[in-house]
Structure 1
């Protein structure tokens, strides 16, 4: 990649000489901070805790008051956690504030500093007028500090500064040895900087003289005391909790020193937000345990991979950073320059006492970010031989990223943190962590994902629209939804079951439906359980807890399906489920942000303005997302707007100011779209509600069953000009239709019992006796018989139930589900039919079948007059000729002349094209293509 950006030498980024000054570098290079991958700052790769944003949001209302000048709650929390007197705790605006103040107050005339170490140690001691004596550590000994060798140098009156873990080496010092040395030299002061100690597993705090502080120990009644009065410790909260911009630290000192230090610090040095965050942080032991486990795994893998590069020497570290050296002794500055051309920052170490220009330091970041650095180092240091076996980075053209928190960096599109680490119990131990293990294979396709602020926000339709738009533009595109909960399913040509929504999206892309597009399908069969279908085949009925235990297998199935699809297409359009803001569901998510994270997909958040509150839902959803989830959100789409989009600009400006993301489109309300709906939500909310036709027509009633499935069987009838279609769920609303349709059901016995209890069963039987045509499809067909039995409790705990008794047949639910595509004819009309069967039922009857299939089998039954009939065939009304024959027969039976021809062909192609035209005109397609990197 040719670099045309101005170059600022890494060693001259700022006068401070520190790493992490992304502000200066971004200004110099004309970039956003989000465009830089900063390995120079040692921040927790797990990212901030999930509770950070809620705590800050809650405390905003208190910003009208001055902060507590004593930070009482925070001091109490620190004292309790570390088992020290409250009076010994001093909090500050970062430990740097304490470090710069302390030397002026201690009365020491010289300082002994093991080197290399944090460069400000020397600076602040010299500013305080001390003579600094470096105690040099050697690379041959891994920069370990021998306190035994240090001891003879201590004569009294000096200040010894020890970092543990050391910065930049990561070497740890035994706290017991520090305490012993301090007690052996009571006239010497020891300043122990434990800024990175929280990253160390089994790390022990020096100040209190016992093991790692914990909330549990704070309650055990142990008396508060310091290990030694001449030990002063500094503790940073900003690095471990990934909040360096908030600035928060504290020190633990002997009471006289603490008192003196407080007198010299300005009032209100710790702001209200920082105090609240500190209190919450000290109570979160789970975050600490997860962070340490994550850092250990990331560091282990990172070290192993770095040591595969012969040009590098990698030193052992106990912290979240590594010290490296160019083995030929050459200057690391040119390396830093070349990495900077790739927008990757490292910390050169020439200004560390005890190190030469061949040394540099890198942070341990997330696995894919570490891989980005490995890839770059390999290309620079061994360009002819380096080949990353684990490279899972997608080339991109640079740019400013998805939004304010983008992870798009230079040449690389970086993964947000991948899947959480597994614990011993197999549960996730990382709330927002990134495992060091490779989570995916290289993917060819470019992903984009639609998620919603709620269910039925329009994700499915917009996914279908973009499928058709990209198809029109010559892009090979496929839809994908990791997990779909729907009773509206479909059978593919190879006899596998998938969600109907992804079938429609596949049709929009002119693809055959493929179960890889919907690898996990949940079909609710009770209020608490669902049939679980993996890769098109049922694996069992599960309640919520059972499915949670099974979910890792579902996740693996989803990832495998995506990887397979992604290798075959240019673009994969992913759809989420419900809302990513469901805080009670996020821990086990495999379909929303969890899938976006796995696929590196930028997310467009869709909101339904027709329901009201869409902008509050955008802002509110962003507020409950974790930081890594927010980083995935690229923008918003307003759906179902009635009016002039220009009137929404003020709201769009507000959302941009609050979230840093733009509204990328306003899609108008599209009535009578002409596409199958995703699930029964729309059906029960009046999908087929329409005015009664003014001309001659027939009236058809569809019974709304509690567990209705495949209601899209009815949709072709809704488009007919001479059909008045009504949905009925109460007996008193049945009226006098010419036909009643009993649709499919996922729990036939329960739904039949529900019809009986509300009086609809009896009302249907009366209508049948009056000559009304009664039609049953799949589950509705079973209801027409005399009995239905479920001996294996496939759908219900009730063993059997009496049917409506309208056809002489019985049904028994079997363990195996029949999944098959069918073609054939309707025997009475000789009209062609096609569709699919999805059912456990095995129906026995002496009545002749009404459908004859090309494979020689038959299906369905009818009474002698053809007035009561049904079959297992879903999609039976999709056939234009049969549907018209059915309607014309109803017309003739009620004295109306039949209509000729096909007044309303059931053809989705025009609907797809109309939808694509509308959406193309309503959203920023240039931005969409930028997000797709096409």
Structure 2
């Protein structure tokens, strides 16, 4: 079962006509940098407040991420906000992340407002659009907060990015609108955290400093008492207290919050004890929704490792091509690096121990014969048609309308239920001559993926396909059998976010001065 199908609670995505007279209690987590751990700490505080009896909701005005999720009403939000919603035991809601930016190049992004794409914009275009976006952000916050007791907000990057402050809609401007007190989070694991905290405060305007209630150190390893002199000095220098020191938590079991964390986790993914199925994940330049691999990498007999060159490919049991925000560009990258040729060669091997090759969403499109983008939905006009890997006899054409839907179906090779969500512009059809068959079928008979006759190459549009415990184990056992090992035949690592969120909440509750947090919020 998919992790978000565990609990369901209806939420309405309607906007209020009038601004409420009074703001509800709100706390905001901002960071001295990106990847400081704001998303995870926001989820932790959401779960703590829920455990203590409050109706709480998360909010991030603007998120830039290639990890996204689909709400029940077919809208797209950042995956981190979906996890935070799970911490609150709420269904994800577009109001929790009213603006989502999905980078498609170094200078441009697809802009998604209230869950629907409004176009691709370069930086200057988006800056001009921001006043309109902020009005939508304010309406979304007012509507969502009116239904809850307390809000936990997340900032983005750093509030001290002085080149962005003039048109900020996600950090201090949002905190001021929400009447939220700010906790500034620093990642001590990176080094230089005290200089970052003091430097951030120095670059803030006086009114912004007034919103900062204090600091939180994150990801500390060792004896926290050794930090006392530095904490005391920083408090004297800034006038702001520390609310706690959160320890470094390993193997938490939650989706990585961004690509930085994800790639670091892949680098740390050392061989596990005993024999492991070897899954080579193609680390595409525009990799998207890489959290599709979380449940798979959590299996004790599976190792997922990132691959960016043919020399790193080795002889895996499975090659997995993930989603992409720029399928045509990433196909060209596969050809430039030589990975395309290596994957094609392995895909045409007939040996019994040849690797299984799997594509998810953009990966499915890449496995086909061609990908066309006549309307330049993803491409820049220089390459509106690209040859695929040719391992599946399917063709994809990008269209202007994005498919956004939650789906349930059956993986035909195992006759097991799978569920997840689809986010894609492409429409994929079987080519002349056939040779492929549906491998994931929805209740109405629609194919959500295709496979070769022997089942060794297959792809699906369903994100989260590996979250289903029984299917995932059957898939891993098939790989075990191909390498000559006995299948385990039972679920050994159930995938659920709820226990992980409870463990996270316990760690953060112990590390933070929650009495001070509640006083800050004006809650008993």
Question: Taking structure 1 as the reference length, what is the TM-score of the superposition?
Answer: 0.53
Q: How far did 1:730 drift?
A: 1.6
Contact preservation (8 Å) 2:478, 2:487: yes
Asked if 1:583 corresponds to 2:162, the answer is yes
Using the TM superposition, give the Cα deviation of residue 445 of structure 1 relative to its aligned residue in structure 2, in angstroms: 2.3
CA drift at 1:678: 1.8
Q: What is residue 871 of structure 1 aligned with on the other side?
A: 460
Alignment of 1:685-704 (within 5 A): 685-687=264-266, 689-704=268-283
**Is this contact kept in 2: 1:443–1:566, CA < 8 A?**
no
Q: Point out where structure 2 has 5 or more consecutive residues left out of the alignment.
A: 1-17
Distance in 2 of aligned mates of 1:752 and 1:654: 52
Note the residue ranges of structure 1 that are not aligned, 5 or more in a row: 1-438
Q: Which residue of 1 aligns with 2:137?
A: 558
Is 1:443–1:563's contact at 8 Å kept on the other side of the alignment? no
- CA spacing shift, 1:917–1:658, aligned 2, 3 Å: same
* Equivalent-residue separation in structure 2 for 1:476 and 1:688 (angstroms): 38
Question: In the alignment, is the contact (CA less than 8 A) between 1:637 and 1:664 conserved in 2?
Answer: yes
- Which of 345, 367, 373 lines up with 1:766 in the alignment? 345
Q: CA deviation at 1:680?
A: 1.3
For 2:278 and 2:177, the matched residues in 1 are separated by: 50
Alignment partners' CA distance in 2, 1:442 and 1:456: 35
Q: Which residue of 2 aligns with 1:908?
A: 497
Aligned: 1:520 with 2:99? yes
- Between the aligned partners of 1:793 and 1:927, the Cα distance in structure 2 is 52
Q: Distance in 2 between matches of 1:532 and 1:682?
A: 23
- 1:493 aligned to 2:493? no
Partner of 1:740: 319
- Distance in 1 (alpha carbons) for counterparts of 2:280 and 2:398: 27
**What is the SS of the residue equivalent to 1:629?**
helix
Measured in 2, the distance between the counterparts of 1:607 and 1:875 equals 32
Higher relative contact order (CA 8 A, sep 6+): 2
Offset at residue 855 of structure 1 (A) = 3.6
Is the 8 Å Cα contact of residues 689 and 725 (structure 1) preserved in structure 2? no
Alignment match, 1:844? 429
Deviation (angstroms), 1:520? 0.3
CA displacement, residues 16-56 of structure 1 (integer Å, 9 cap, x when unaligned): xxxxxxxxxxxxxxxxxxxxxxxxxxxxxxxxxxxxxxxxx
Query: 2:389 maps to which residue?
Result: 804
Local SS of the residue matching 2:120: strand
For 1:775, which of 333, 339, 358 is the aligned residue? 358
Alignment of 1:54-133 (within 5 A): none
Aligned to 2:374: 791
Total equivalences in the alignment:
496
Match of 1:848, SS?
strand
Q: 1:599 to 1:444 in 2, by over 3 A?
A: closer
Correspondence for 1:925:
514
In structure 2, the residue matched to 1:357 is none
Deviation at 1:440, TM superposition (A): 5.1
> Aligned residue for 2:150?
571
Is the counterpart of residue 862 in structure 1 residue 441 in structure 2? no
CA contact (8 A) 2:194 2:234 kept: yes
When the two structures are superposed, what TM-score results if normalisation uses the length of structure 2?
A: 0.93
Deviations 1:163-190 (A, max 9, x none): xxxxxxxxxxxxxxxxxxxxxxxxxxxx
Alignment of 1:248-647 (within 5 A): 441-647=20-226
Q: CA RMSD in A?
A: 1.1
Q: Distance in 2 between matches of 1:781 and 1:472?
A: 41
Alpha-carbon distance, 1:828 to partner: 1.6
Pairing 1:648–2:227 present: yes
Shift of 1:444: 4.8
Inter-partner Cα distance in structure 2 for 1:787 and 1:900: 38
Which residue does the alignment assign to 2:400?
Answer: 815
TM-fit CA distance, 1:686: 3.3
Counterpart CA distance in 1 for 2:363 and 2:256 is 20
Structure with the bigger percentage of strand: 2
Q: Deviations over 1:817-850 (max 9, x none)?
A: 0111101111121111110000000111043211
Q: CA deviation at 1:755?
A: 1.0
Q: Report if aligned partners of 1:819, 1:837 keep a CA contact under 8 Å in 2.
A: yes
| Aligned 1:654-669 pairs, distance under 5 A | 654-669=233-248
Is residue 2:341 matched to residue 1:752?
no
Alignment of 1:140-155 (within 5 A): none
Cα distance in 2, alignment partners of residues 597 and 746 from structure 1: 33
Q: Equivalent residue of 1:511, what SS?
A: coil
C-alpha contact 1:447 1:571 (8 A) present in aligned 2 = yes
Q: Is the 8 A contact 2:20 2:146 kept in 1?
A: no
**Deviation (angstroms), 1:809:** 0.8
Instruction: Give the match's secondary structure for 2:392.
Output: coil
